[in-house]
A and B are shown apart, each in its own frame.
Chain A
Amino acid sequence: MSKDNDKNKDDEATDINENTDANDTVEKIGVYICHCGGNISDHVDVEKVAESVKNIPGVTKVHTNSFMCSDPGQELIEKDIKSGSINRVVVASCAPSLHESTFRGAIKRADMNPFLYDHANIREQVSWVHDGEPATAKASILVKSSIEKARGLKALDVLKVDAKKHVLIVGGGIAGMRSGLDLAKQGFEVAILEKSPFLGGQASKLSRLAPSYEYAKDLIVELYTQLSKQNKVTFYTCAEMSSFKGYIGNFDVTLTREPSDAVKSKSKGEFVENRGIFIDNIPKETEEIAITIGAVVMATGFKTYEPAEDEFGFNKLEPVTTLEQFIQDYKKAETKKGILYLNNKKIKRIAFIHCVGSRQIPGIHEPDKNGNLNEYCSRTCCSSTLQAAERIKTTCPNTDVFDFYRDIRTYGRFQEDIYDSASEKGVMFFRFEPDAQPEVTENKNGKFPISIKTKDVLTFNEEIEVDVDLVVLVTGIIPNDISSMINMMKLPVGTDKFLQEVHPKLRPVEVANTGILLAGTCQAPMDITESCAAAQAASVKATALLYKGFVELDPFVAQVDTELCKGHGECLKVCPVDNTIEIDKVAKVNPALCTGCGICTAVCPENAIDVMGWSLKQYEKMVDAILAA
């Protein structure tokens, strides 16, 4: 029963100043405060906040709701607008990044200008970091300051700019090819930028793929065949991006193509082992190409971790190799009497060591020379290692295979089957703890050149020594070095050095910069299935952005009062975005380029430039409100 009462309370509305319909030009502010199901109300006394603002002049409605973003919550706002009770909206809830567009949508549905709305963040800025009385007090202050800001809001129109139906894909690996194909099918022009003369990326180095045993080459050829049938696709191989300017819908990009002596005798479209599909248009001399595009798909991929000198004997002991190299060598492997021969060497015993360069733990693992640790799991290596182990036992049953692991992560569809099959075929597993890594040493007098010592968790920490012919280090995935593009395009990068998406759950293929999308392993380690899904998700976002031929941008941009402006050009000096401001007697702002950062407003000696929706006057009112409280 008490629950029912609680629910009744959620919708408590306070009606004040009922004489509001006297004059429609007067600000009538509706305040909507969210419990966030407890996220806010566990720490903030929401009803008290409501009480504290209801008598502020101009506030005509105050509502609280357990989830303001839910339909019933939004309907409160719509109802108040439609009934004429309010003409400004203040929502106090989570960060505006989560729900600003939700509430703008609700306001729009009620036929009010969606920019007559301000948002107070009382979750991230209050309830998640404060508790008790101070939390309630701070929430109150933030709502009051938001009310004062809302008072000065003016109706704004979204900016409409033409958008080119032309997409640049950066990277010609599997993800880039997949995305390019989708967008070409949409009828968009597609430019694929690739630094090598080949398409196919890292997948070209692979052989049969886990868990389906398809050949990577076949997938690359299939994608290329489909791509080459599309008539709006241009391959810019041997190319790098040399400049990047503009905004969504109209990015100006320069590509620089350099001659390459990679492969001369190959014909166009031929698959070259370990390198990919050869695109026969290598430039004779350096050339620069300028293109204008509407959106960019980043598909810059990964490289494998290179073990440090003597990490598990790497580069010191000859029979220590990486999984990447092993896959190459295994393509030419031979079998004699059920024993594996690699590069004409008999491999009677082989060991794989997992998590080399992945899952590194501060305090346990050595950082690299730049102080980096790869703390993440590289996701794909367990399955590819087990498949390699399983293949060896299938084709060379007399070679012994040892697998040193921390956790076996065969999480994907049908991957567990490979693990089962490898176990059934006699692969021997040893489990080690991160702080007791296997020791790889030279075995001078023994039958086998390498000795591996470990404490095996599976046999209750028994000290185990295994002598082998070859050690394969299962090296992880690290993002390709694209620092020049990161600088040019101002891309966000995570602590793991991969490109950083807007929201790791709900918006995995978008970055904060509108018009730039992420496909595949530039964002995080992924297998081919996951890369292709991400690439197609990036394609669909690019399609939705561009298919109408125009894009809509927020109107929070700098505006010049031409009466006041004397053309000093102080704004131009501090503007961080090239070409946004030009001075022609007075300052002129290109609204599509302006990010609304407001630095110009701070330096203008005449106070002639201001950001729409975030004016200096509004800030003063907000500060006054904060100080008054």
Chain B
Amino acid sequence: MNSRKKLNFDTVVIGGGIAGLQTAIDLGDQGFKVAIIEKDATIGGTMIRLSKVFPTLDCASCITTPKMSEAAHHDNITLFTMCTLNALDKESNKVTASITQQPRYLDPDKCIGCRQCEYNCPVYVLDEEQGDLTLRKAAYIPFSNAIPQLALIDVENCSLCGKCAKVCPTDAIDYFQEPEDFIIEARTAVVTTGFNMTPADQKKEYGQGKIENVITALQMERILAPHGPYMRALRPSDGKEPESIAFIQCAGSRDKSLGVSYCSRVCCMYAIKQCMLLSGSLPLADLTIYYMDIRAFGKGYEQFYQNAKAMGIEFVKSKIASISQGADQSVALKYEAQEEGGKLATREHDLVVLSLGIVPEWDPTGICDIAKDTDQFIQCKMPKIAPTITSIEGMFTAGVASGPKDIVDTIAESGAAAMEAGNYMKHYH
């Protein structure tokens, strides 16, 4: 049992979000064999969980699924989901990744994704895929376009009632499945580990997550997504259709008190996008964005911003001083009203969205010697002319792992990482 499986690839890609998928596809298209290591039960990363993307308003599912599907069906790409990376080492031209695959508590070769286990499971738990705004079962497939379409059992919440095992048509359920350790040996590695948001309860002035109807931008993404928790735009506390919605920009970025002094780069645009989508589903709602600077710098972004202004979305230049609970479960914001001579003003909104900061998802400390920079993201050794090269030869990085980035910049950088890795294997190996 303990003899660890060893697999060989040309490149091991750490993280199966859009950066990892694009990197793997661009390497696979050059003929290299690639393994994608993903910690979740599905590939797709943050992008597949979004509603629509700026500035095209393409639905995120519609444009992410083809990439997921392309990677999953690519002759040169192998996916490993539910994997924890224990160590990533580089020694004498060889990258070694030591990995533990967490159990799904079912045999992936037998599971046909029919969801009978899910339909029959009696246990309901908060659905993290829906921003904890609704419930899922303890036996479940993460979402309808997850890849692979395999169920898993959330063993922490499972009541061991045995129903799933009884209804499974292929006898795939295995309550005694153990984590499996294995090793991937490769010639190169690409770190595409993506991001996380700063905690919503971090800032004392913003109520530390205890105020009703203050949600995060990623929760708003789910509310706006086609298969969202409510299938329409409602506020969580009482299901009221909000008549006034506010966005607080830089609620976790450009804020030295939180240790995030940098700009998170995408929040201005997603707040504007969410306003545009809300104005579609709630045409009468008042939409307000409280901001410091609107950073609409990408291709077509400024025009998107100007359109939002023309649509009547209100932009208030101000850093919100504090958030408190208002009357009737509304949210009261205190701020300096610059248009009114700088006097301290308070306004109430039915629903408030925090544009939290972006922080790295993965900390290499103790796992890999790859250098971090002062902002804690992966350090780029030649940030100008070779932006994907890291401190370790043969290890590359792309996407938000090396700093906040939007999807298009992530896609370009992923191509760049695939080029660097490809050329490295061609020449120095």
Using a CB–CB cutoff of 8 Å, the interface residues on chain A facing chain B are 4, 7-8, 10, 36-39, 66-67, 69-72, 74-75, 94, 98-99, 101-102, 105-106, 109, 174, 178, 182, 185-187, 209, 212, 214, 219, 222-223, 358-359, 361, 375-377, 379, 407-417, 420, 431, 457-458, 460-461, 496, 498, 503-509, 523-525, 528-530, 532-541, 543-544, 547
Contacts and interface: CB of A to CB of B under 8 A. Distances in A.
Contacts of B415: 509, 533, 536-541
Interface of B: 26, 29-31, 53, 55-56, 58-59, 61-63, 65-70, 72-73, 113, 115, 118-119, 144-145, 147-149, 225-227, 254, 261-263, 265, 293-303, 306, 317, 338-342, 375, 377, 383-388, 402-404, 407-409, 411-416, 418-420, 422-423, 426-427
A378 to B, nearest CB: 9
B426 A71 contact: no
Contacts of A523: 299
Contact of B418 (A39, A69, A361, A540): A540
Given A375-B303, A529-B387, A537 B262 contact: no
Contacts of A539: 415, 419
Nearest to A3: B134
Nearest to B377: A413
B113 A72 contact: yes
16 contacts: A7-B115, A36-B62, A71-B68, A72-B149, A98-B66, A106-B73, A214-B384, A415-B263, A416-B261, A431-B317, A509-B412, A524-B299, A528-B384, A533-B412, A536-B388, A538-B415
Contacts of A540: 26, 29-30, 415-416, 418-419, 422
A407 B298 CA distance: 14
A39 B62 contact: yes
B306 A375 contact: yes
Given A540-B422, A543-B422, A376 B293 contact: no
A460 B342 contact: yes
A124 to B, nearest CB: 11
Given A98-B66, A523-B299, A505 B306 contact: no
Contacts of A431: 317
A505 B63 contact: yes
B199 to A, nearest CB: 21
A524 B375 CA distance: 27
A102 B299 contact: no
Contact of A71 (B53, B148, B263, B414): B148
Contact of A185 (B29, B302, B427): B427
A99 B386 CA distance: 33
B295 to A, nearest CB: 5
A504 B56 contact: yes
A530 B415 CA distance: 12
A-B pairs, 6 with minimum CB distance:
A537-B415, A37-B226, A536-B416, A70-B145, A38-B226, A544-B29
B302 A377 contact: yes
Contact of B297 (A4, A223, A361, A379): A379
A94 B56 contact: no
B30 A72 contact: no
B140 to A, nearest CB: 11
A356 to B, nearest CB: 15
Contacts of A507: 411
B382 to A, nearest CB: 9
A506 B67 contact: yes
A66 B59 CA distance: 13
A122 B44 CA distance: 25
A409 B268 CA distance: 11
A547 B388 contact: no
B295 A38 contact: no
Given A39-B59, A376-B299, A70 B419 contact: no
Given A109-B73, A504-B300, A509-B412, A72 B293 contact: no
A202 to B, nearest CB: 14
Nearest to B418: A540
Given A182-B419, A186-B422, A223-B385, A71 B147 contact: yes
Contacts of A69: 62, 65-66, 69, 145
Contact of A178 (B55, B265, B385): B385
A539 B29 CA distance: 12
Given A69-B66, A70-B147, A504 B55 contact: yes
B149 A71 contact: yes
B416 A537 contact: yes
B293 A361 contact: no
A498 B26 contact: no
Contacts of A185: 423, 426-427
Contact of B375 (A37, A358, A414): A414
Find the residue from B265, B301, B386, B415 having the highest chain A CB count within 10 A.
B415
Nearest to B420: A536
Contact of A94 (B30, B62, B118, B317): B62
A361 B306 contact: yes
Given A72-B113, A537-B412, A506 B383 contact: no
A7 B254 CA distance: 42
A349 B409 CA distance: 38
Which of A38, A71, A74, A530 has the most chain B CB atoms closer than 10 A to its own CB?
A71
B299 A504 contact: yes
Nearest to A375: B303
Contact of B408 (A37, A417, A504, A535): A504
Nearest to B63: A506
Given A94-B62, A537-B419, A540-B30, A39 B384 contact: no
Given A219-B384, A377-B297, A102 B265 contact: no
A214 to B, nearest CB: 6
Contacts of A412: 263, 265, 403
> Which one of B26, B383, B409 has the highest number of Cβ atoms from chain A below 10 Å of its Cβ?
B383
A414 B384 CA distance: 13
Contacts of B262: 413-414, 416-417
Contacts of A223: 385
A305 B195 CA distance: 37
Contacts of B386: 532, 536
Given A377-B297, A506-B408, A508-B411, 13 more contacts: A4-B118, A38-B226, A67-B144, A106-B73, A375-B303, A409-B296, A411-B263, A496-B299, A503-B63, A505-B53, A524-B298, A533-B387, A534-B416
**Interface hub of B294, B295, B426 (most chain A Cβ within 10 A):** B295
Nearest to B145: A70
A411 B73 contact: no
Most A CB contacts (10 A, CB to CB) among B145, B302, B339 go to B302
Contacts of B59: 36-37, 39
B46 to A, nearest CB: 14
A372 to B, nearest CB: 14
B312 to A, nearest CB: 16
A212 B296 CA distance: 23
Contact of B144 (A70, A106, A504): A70
B383 A413 contact: yes
A407 B147 contact: no
Contacts of B317: 431, 457
Contacts of B56: 503-505
Contacts of B409: 530, 533
Contacts of A182: 419, 423
Contacts of B407: 505-506
B254 A416 contact: yes
A431 B338 CA distance: 12
Contacts of B69: 69-71, 74, 102, 105
Contacts of B383: 212, 413, 529
A508 B416 CA distance: 12
Contacts of A178: 385
Given A38-B227, A102-B69, A410-B263, A187 B385 contact: no
B119 to A, nearest CB: 5
Nearest to B424: A185
Contacts of A74: 69
The winner among A7, A498, A543 for most chain B CB atoms within 10 A is A543
